[in-house]
């Protein structure tokens, strides 16, 4: 069969690409999270406390990724999703701060100042994504955050249960609405799809970098 007559395989929709990206490279796929270091063993609570404090540095301030991205939303579908996501993340941010207050100080670890500087740089990189003028980039980052936060929320719930804190209901937009938004924003435009995937990839890269840092810090506390 000649190339001109070969059947064209269907391309994946942007929603599926974003979902696959988060599933393959997001928090749930990171070796530090998968190892059980945050959920089992004698050091789990210290590791969780460390993660919570650094998550606060990354996502605990307002405005955040979704708030900044919302300012770029012009069409009604995007604005509705962004408003819903932003309102939900107010609750998530308060929950994160509550756990950080209850869990106590950051576990003593070598290189604390350098670690905080590294996460501050990650925060700046994320802010730049959410404020990007490239159509699709900011919404891609916001979508990736809501998708990856589902796994992060599991870790926060574990922390809350150990601290006798009742976790609030997570009201971030559901997967169906999020997939619909991705398709609506992209609207079959390859350039917009690429921008959305880029924004999502960069957000997930920053999360992966955070978990890399948490893994190194956990190891240094065990083997100083």
Over the range 183-205, which residues count as b (16 or more CB within 10 Å of their CB) and which as e?
bebbeeeeebbbbbbbbbbbbbe
What is the rounded average pLDDT for all residues in the chain? 92
Share of the chain above pLDDT 70, in %: 94
* pLDDT 10s digits, 171-221: 999 999 999 999 999 998 999 999 999 999 999 999 999 999 999 999 999
* pLDDT 10s digits, 85-130: 999 999 999 999 999 999 999 999 999 999 999 999 999 999 999 9
- Classified by CATH at the fold level, domain 14-30+37-105+113-222 comes out as Heme Oxygenase; Chain A (1.20.910)
Distance CA 148, CA 203 (A): 10
Distance CA 202, CA 194 (A): 12
**3: confidence class by pLDDT, cuts 50, 70, 90:** very low
Share of the chain above pLDDT 90, in %: 86
Residue in the structure block whose two tokens are 């991705």: 182
Distance CA 79, CA 106 (A): 37
Tell me the average pLDDT across 48-61: 96
Residue 203, CA atoms < 13 Å, CB-side half-sphere: 32
Write the CA distances from 201 to 23, 26, 33, 60, 148, integer angstroms. Answer: 12, 9, 19, 21, 11
DSSP state of 5: G
User: Residue 167: exposed, middle, or buried by beta-carbon count in 10 A (0-12, 13-18, 19+)?
Assistant: middle
């Amino acid at each position: 069969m000649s190339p001109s007559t070969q059947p064209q395989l269907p391309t994946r929709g942007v929603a599926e690409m974003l979902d696959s990206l988060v599933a393959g490279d997001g928090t749930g796929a990171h070796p530090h999270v998968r190892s059980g270091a945050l959920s089992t063993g004698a050091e789990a609570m210290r590791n969780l406390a460390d993660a919570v404090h650094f998550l606060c540095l990354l996502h605990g301030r307002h405005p955040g990724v979704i708030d900044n991205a919302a300012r770029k939303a012009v069409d009604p579908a995007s604005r509705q999703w962004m408003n819903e996501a932003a309102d939900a993340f107010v609750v998530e941010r308060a929950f994160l701060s509550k756990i950080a207050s209850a869990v106590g100080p950051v576990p003593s670890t070598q290189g604390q100042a350098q670690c905080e500087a590294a996460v501050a740089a990650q925060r700046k990189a994320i802010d730049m994504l959410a404020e990007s003028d490239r159509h699709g980039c900011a919404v891609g980052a916001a979508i990736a955050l809501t998708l990856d936060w589902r796994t992060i929320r599991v870790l926060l719930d574990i922390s809350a249960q150990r601290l006798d804190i009742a976790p609030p209901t997570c009201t971030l937009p559901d997967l169906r609405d999020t997939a619909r938004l991705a398709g609506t924003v992209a609207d079959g435009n390859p350039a917009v799809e690429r921008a959305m995937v880029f924004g999502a990839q960069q957000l997930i890269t920053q999360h992966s970098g955070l978990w890399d840092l948490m893994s190194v810090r956990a190891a240094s506390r065990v083997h100083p």
